[in-house]
Chain A
Amino acid sequence: MINTFIGNLGHFMVILAFVSAIITAWSYYQYTIVPETEKASWRKFSRVFFYIHAVSAVSIGVILFNIIYNHRFEYFYAYSHSSEALPVHYMISSFWEGQEGSFILWIFWDVLLGLFLIHTNKSWEGPVMVVFSLVQAFLVSMVLGVVIGDLKIGSSPFILLRDVANAPIFQMNPDFVPEDGTGLNPLLQNIWMVIHPPTLFLGYASTLVPFAYLMAGLWTGRYKEWIRPALPWTIFSASILGMGIIMGAYWAYVTLNFGGYWNWDPVENASYVPWLIIVASIHTMITFKKSSTALKTSIVLVITQFILVLYATFLVRSGVLGDTSVHSFTDLGLSGQLLIYLFFFLFVAIFFSVRAWKHIPSSEREASVYSREFWIFIGATTLGLMAFQVILPTSIPVYNAIIEAFGGVSNMAPPADQVEFYTKFQLWFGVVVACLTAVGQFFWWKKMDKAALKSALVTPYLISLLLAAVIISLAQVWDIVYMIIVMAGTFTIVANATILTKLLRKSTFKLAGGSLAHIGIGMMLIGIMFSSGYSDTVSINMSGLTYKRDWEDELNKENVLLWVNQPLQMKDYEVVYRGRHKKLEGVPGYVSVRKLEMTGQQNKAIALEDIVIDGETYHKKGDEVDIVLEENSYFEIEYYQDQKLQFTLFPMSQPNPTMGLISSPDSKHYLTKDLYTHISAINNYDDPEWGEAKEYKATPGEQFHLGDYVTTFEGGEVVNAVEGVELKEGDVAVKANLVVQDHDKQIELAPVFLIRGNQVGRIPVINHDLGIKVQVDNISPEDNQFVFTVNSYQKDYVVMKALVKPYINVLWMGTIIMLMGFGVAIYRRYDEFVKMRDKGLE
């Protein structure tokens, strides 16, 4: 039965969350401005309302998950994002597949951060929470789902399917509930898609904290003091957002067919740009704490990073990127609302900054070239330019939209080869950043002049040159650009490692955050250079044909066609495709589809033989077995070198009715490289169109050509039992034993001929790998001949692509080290804040 109560409850909670956010903002405003004597009661009042907001915001999430979890397909959200077959962890990802769910996730993180701030701050609580609650009100309004005339505010996740769909079934039966949902986008059926969005949204949500401290500081006249509490949160934001971005990259690497982890897609760019600015703001804030400069720059950067997150949200969710991005959301009609949100906070930030500008201390003293302030400023500027270079072309669809809004015509399109375009800039910026981190760190820990700098840098410089030379000659990096990258990377690693050892010797691990993070950056730079610059397509089609008569160019094809069991040489490897497999519940590894018969029921099959893996029998013949997601097939690809089997990969593919073929690669991981295999096209297996029947006659022992295959007819055999048929008294069943030779495989086929009274029955065999159906048409005892009819369609095949990604592990390791560095820095800065607060100074 249709359950409208839970949706109404959800909608009520949304309205409650919205109203309570506004009341909290107002009451915290009162709390901030009233005299000291009245503060206590206002604080209590504000906190109560924030708790109400927190409870209602969490309830929204709980209710929406309940709708998904209980398969309430009368709700549009559950219908369009989930299905019966999904395991629980993918139900979690379907929760944030839609925009509404991801807004709820964002709201949830802000609530947690808000609660944390209420209980860790003293003097900052009031003004910070005003900003917080206002942001929450805007966010909740995105899922409000209130329609007043033509004005639509927010898109509710609690609408019923019947209110959205125009299908005639609802006129006949308003209580109609579809039996199953349309399911989760198969690309998202991946463990990284369960954890990547929450991480990313925590990163997005946390950018609000430094912004809120800044606004609070500018408002209450504490123009400098906001830095201390804001700094640990800025580092937190950078590390969480950085982690989220890298998780997304890793997801793309293991799931998508991009052949890589970073594609410079607008949506990827939209998260990378704020991250760069956050990192820049960390540096200027630290500079300010050391030497009271760069305060104005810090203010500008903290505002910019927050506004950029809003801008990124607008880009991704307004539908403006529709033509240019592979994974932006569809337009929910929220673009106007998102713009109001963006401009509101932009104007608030500008207003407060302008008002406070003349009171903000700035140092008139010119920074010396031998000062750390100078180098950090150059570093922050480089990061800012990096961000500018990415966001400018990414916004091309926005310019078109603006020009068209004013009645103009604009046909500007993003660069045709995005990867090449962005890489050529970002690569050099990366080199500059690497060199700056190396030099900058020395300035950081010591007073420097010309002589001191020379003596401090000369050793690390020589060591890194030596190290770079070793790497370059061992890994054969003969491209001058890549050589420079290796040198810059090793230089930053060596220089920061030198600092790190000095700091650790003084046993102050707390200070090691910066050098650790910079070592990570250096490793990432080298890892990115190798894995993308030296990515090698192994599956080059070696036929060397001219592909089209009327046009002479030869194009290298990056895919190869593999017929089942038929070996193919590609570069260093000989590969053989061995057929399809499924994953079974409770059975390790993969099970060939030859051993399974589909039942027509979802995710169920019958075992056609015993399922034995490594000597252990998991299922007996005839057992019903559970398939893990029936749509997914795993294609067994064997890699040989010198006639010896090196390894076997099982790339996955799913022919999806709404999205076409969805493929996930499989990789062979070595310490120094990954070999990555990806399925580009597959044979249509389920519903073959059989060709015309051909007739073959053979006597026992005879060898003949069955189509393309050399086949031996070993003879007929009278059998007492036939699978699937009950034999009666007087029935005669004859099994014909055929052995088909398919390269190195011998395939046995045994069609059965049945005589009951004066009727005959023919039980054919179908072999999908060979694409043939064989039956015994007749037996003529006079000349001892069997007559076979054979229909064929197509031998099983896959089209696949294989790439080698060298030293990709250096990238992942660099990421982990960088995040560790961030962790140490957060601990140090937060500890500082707590100490100052407990002294009653904050």
Chain B
Amino acid sequence: MKKGHIIGLGIIAVAIVIIISSIGDASSYESFSTAKEMASNGDEDPIHVVGHLKKDSRGTVTGLEVGEDKTSFTFTMVDNDGTEQQVYYNEPVPADFTRSEQVVVIGAYKTDQMFVADKILMKCPSKYQDNEFRDVTASKN
């Protein structure tokens, strides 16, 4: 076998390892119910859940409890299937949290009742660019 072939095979082997590990380490978007199922089957890999905060009829966020030392909080999240779930996050409340339109939590169930988020991604009405025109009362004219 020529040296070039050995190198070629080596490269292919590394590439395959990379592909397999990318698939293996890729997370997935789940709902709370499938996440719970995964947890009860002993699968503790972190997953992504997309949803929004629970709000009352007046649009106020309910179920947000801030820890006494303000460095952690729990909140109630509703996933896209409508399942409500209490989520714990071991960081201070992000300041624009209650304004978020959509939240993605990355984490896993620690107990049956408690989903622990390692990371929270938020989508706010105008996070990157102000595409909605907010009424400006004052005018130059």
Which residues of A come within 8 Å of B, CB atoms?
A: 80-81, 98, 161, 164-167, 169, 173, 175-180, 182, 185, 322-323, 326-330, 366-367, 369, 377-378, 381, 385, 388-389, 392-393, 396, 411-417, 421, 425, 541, 543, 547-548, 550-551, 553, 555, 557-561, 655, 658-661, 680-681, 797, 799
Contact = CB atoms under 8 A, between A and B. Distances in A.
A323 B104 contact: yes
Given A330-B128, A553-B110, A173 B27 contact: no
B81 interface: no
Contact of A414 (B26, B71, B88, B127): B26
A414 B124 contact: no
Contact of A551 (B25, B110, B125, B134): B110
5 contacts: A177-B141, A185-B128, A329-B128, A551-B113, A557-B71
Contacts of A385: 11, 14-15, 18
B22 A659 contact: no
Closest CB pairs A-B (n = 10): A660-B96, A661-B95, A660-B95, A165-B133, A416-B46, A681-B92, A413-B27, A411-B29, A178-B136, A559-B71
B4 to A, nearest CB: 7
B90 A178 contact: no
A268 to B, nearest CB: 16
B7 A378 contact: yes
Give the interface SS of chain A, mostly helix, strand, loop or mixed. loop
Contacts of A558: 90-91
Given A323-B104, A660-B94, A80 B29 contact: no
Nearest to A374: B3
B27 A415 contact: yes
A182 B135 CA distance: 11
B93 interface: yes
Contact of A561 (B45, B69, B130): B69
Given A165-B133, A167-B133, A660-B97, A366 B2 contact: yes
B42 to A, nearest CB: 17
B139 A173 contact: yes
A658 B124 contact: yes
Contacts of A177: 139-141
Interface in B69-87: 69-72, 74
Given A551-B110, A655-B95, A658-B124, A388 B15 contact: yes
Given A177-B141, A385-B18, A660-B97, A413 B7 contact: no
A543 B67 CA distance: 13
Nearest to A411: B29
Nearest to A166: B133
A377 B127 CA distance: 45
Nearest to A179: B138
A551 B128 contact: no
Interface in B3-44: 3-4, 7, 11, 14-15, 18-19, 21-22, 25-30
Contacts of A555: 72, 90
B47 interface: yes
A557 B48 contact: no
A175 B140 CA distance: 10
Interface string B107-141: 00011011010110101111111110111101111
Nearest to B102: A323
B95 A413 contact: no
Given A177-B140, A330-B131, A413 B70 contact: no
A281 B130 CA distance: 41
Contact of A547 (B15, B72, B95): B72
Given A179-B139, A367-B3, 11 more contacts: A179-B136, A392-B18, A392-B19, A412-B26, A412-B29, A421-B25, A548-B88, A550-B111, A557-B72, A558-B90, A559-B91
Contacts of A551: 88, 110-111, 113-114, 116
Contact of B71 (A164, A381, A541): A541
Given A681-B92, A681-B95, A80 B129 contact: yes
B4 A366 contact: yes
Contacts of A164: 133
A507 to B, nearest CB: 38
B93 A681 contact: yes
Contacts of B127: 658-659
A178 B139 contact: yes
A292 to B, nearest CB: 17
B106 interface: yes
